[in-house]
């Protein structure tokens, strides 16, 4: 094992020497982001010696030193692609083939990123303090606090690997989820090696059309994953930008899969926070304004609860009052929200300083997911609210069972949970029938009120 880690240390040197610390410093053409279609999911690591990362920093191609380093690559891999599959500020990813024939992706941390990140946080702190002194309403010091807390976690690939394995186990009941397998024997703290998995970005509609992937199915399944993570387990992948969420047809089963990558940034929700968050979303879906106020206040919003509800849902106050599941998103509403965001910046700043720090990454996650839904044109779909409601019901029932004192009470809770879930399934069936060809045929023959009398169980 020690010998393999030593080779990996030299490998990191070879990679950065041969690729010139390859970083994209230009605007990427989104059509070229097939470079991100690789399996760089989660992985882990131990410590790479700083000496090994710096000793050959200036090794040039064609020299004896370069040849020596290249030979070390051949000891570990049959082939190794020097040009990265993708590169970012913290690391770059290379494709390689092991001697047993398996294709892997190596995520290799840039040599100076550890020390540079500390300097960047310090500079950010100084600048934010200066801006706050000039503009007292600009109170975003929480950005520094979050950076100080999260940056070390993102730079620790051991942590990333354990997160990947945890979420893969936690969501193993979803057959459409793929988390690439980690190769622990070829991973260190700054190098992680994992199964290579190809796919298209989740917002690439052309890729989905070409490969026969249903956009609505992807959007619904992504919603299921995140509803389960947030409401049921309280362990949330907080960086679902399109480069970290791939879609593909499984080579073996030919079924559609979602590939979840980059597991460095997770948020673990405290039980009380998670349950109040569940209750708040159930109130928002139903348009229960007393519940919206009550649970927003419990989550720290105070008298800014109307603004909190709008920020959380990215919906207008009128839509929140009506129940977000019953009011479609319109262009006019989007314009209104963008306009008000600028007008209410001081209040938004105050709100973000009030709410628990757990909420900040959830807000970021919500925005990223909402952006994907907007691109796929599936935003505010009824299926997403049904999945959220289903997970909230399960989470609340599990909490109540854990506090029940008698078997009779636990049975009562289980029956109530089953009935609520059954009602949701019936409502889901109703929506499916309403959108079917038969329903449209009946609607053409009969008055609409005969075919679709009003119904709601949310």
Annotated catalytic residues are: 239
Please tell me whether residue 187 adopts helix, strand or coil conformation: coil
Q: Are 188 and 3 in contact (CB under 8 A)?
A: no
Q: Are 378 and 214 in contact (CB under 8 A)?
A: no
Question: Shortest CA distance to 428 belongs to which of 420, 438, 437?
Answer: 420
Question: Shortest CA distance to 385 belongs to which of 335, 323, 446, 445?
Answer: 323
Host H or E run for residue 104: strand 103-109
| Cα torsion angle, 441, 453, 321, 392, sign | negative
134: number of CA atoms within 13 Å, CB side?
A: 5
CA–CA distances in Å: residue 257 to residues 211, 236, 381:
12, 19, 20
Q: Give the burial string for 331-351 (b: 16+ CB within 10 Å, else e).
A: eebeebbeebeeebeeebbeb
Q: Which residues have C-beta within 8 Å of that of residue 223, sequence separation ≥ 6?
A: 369, 383, 384, 387, 388
Measured in residues, the chain has a length of 458
For tokens 């040009």, what's the residue? 83
Q: Exposed, middle or buried, 454 (CB in 10 Å: 0-12/13-18/19+)?
A: exposed
Question: Shortest CA distance to 307 belongs to which of 274, 340, 272?
Answer: 340
């Amino acid at each position: 094992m020690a010998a393999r880690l030593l080779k990996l240390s030299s490998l990191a040197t070879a990679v950065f020497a041969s690729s010139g610390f390859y970083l994209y410093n230009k605007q990427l053409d989104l059509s070229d982001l097939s470079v991100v279609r690789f399996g760089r999911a989660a992985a882990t690591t131990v410590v790479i010696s700083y000496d090994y990362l710096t000793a050959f920093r200036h090794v040039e191609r064609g020299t004896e030193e370069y040849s020596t380093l290249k030979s070390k690559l051949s000891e570990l891999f049959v082939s190794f692609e020097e040009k990265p599959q993708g590169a970012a500020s913290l690391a770059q990813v290379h494709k390689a083939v092991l001697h047993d024939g398996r294709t892997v992706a190596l995520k290799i941390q840039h040599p100076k990123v550890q020390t540079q990140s500390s300097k960047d946080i310090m500079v950010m702190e100084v600048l934010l303090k200066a801006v706050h002194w000039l503009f007292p309403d600009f109170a975003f010091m929480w950005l520094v606090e979050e950076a100080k807390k999260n940056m070390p976690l993102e730079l620790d690939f051991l942590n990333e690997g354990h997160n990947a394995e945890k979420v893969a186990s936690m969501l193993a009941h979803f057959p459409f989820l793929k988390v690439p397998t980690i190769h622990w024997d070829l991973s260190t703290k700054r190098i992680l090696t994992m199964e290579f998995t190809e796919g298209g970005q989740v917002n690439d509609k052309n890729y989905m059309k070409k490969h026969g992937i249903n956009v609505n199915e992807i959007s619904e399944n992504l919603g299921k994953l995140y509803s389960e993570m947030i409401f049921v387990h309280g362990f949330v992948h907080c960086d679902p930008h399109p480069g970290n969420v791939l879609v593909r047809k499984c080579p073996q089963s030919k079924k559609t899969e979602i590939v979840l990558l980059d597991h460095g940034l997770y948020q673990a929700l405290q039980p009380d926070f998670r349950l109040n968050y569940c209750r708040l979303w159930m109130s928002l879906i139903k348009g229960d304004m007393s519940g919206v106020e009550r649970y927003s206040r419990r989550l720290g919003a105070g008298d800014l609860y109307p603004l909190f509800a709008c920020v959380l849902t990215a919906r207008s106050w009128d839509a929140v009052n009506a129940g977000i599941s019953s009011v479609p998103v319109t262009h006019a509403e989007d314009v209104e929200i963008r306009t008000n965001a600028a007008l209410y910046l001081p209040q938004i700043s105050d709100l973000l300083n009030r709410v628990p720090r757990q909420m900040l990454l959830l807000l970021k996650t919500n925005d990223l997911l909402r952006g994907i839904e907007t691109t796929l044109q599936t935003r505010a779909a009824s299926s997403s609210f049904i999945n959220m409601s289903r997970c909230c019901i399960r989470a609340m029932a599990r909490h109540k069972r854990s506090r029940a004192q008698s078997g009779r009470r636990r049975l009562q809770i289980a029956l109530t949970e089953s009935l609520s879930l059954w009602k949701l399934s019936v409502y889901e069936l109703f929506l499916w029938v309403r959108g079917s060809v038969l329903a449209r045929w009946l609607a053409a023959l009969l008055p609409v009120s005969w075919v679709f009398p009003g119904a709601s169980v949310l």
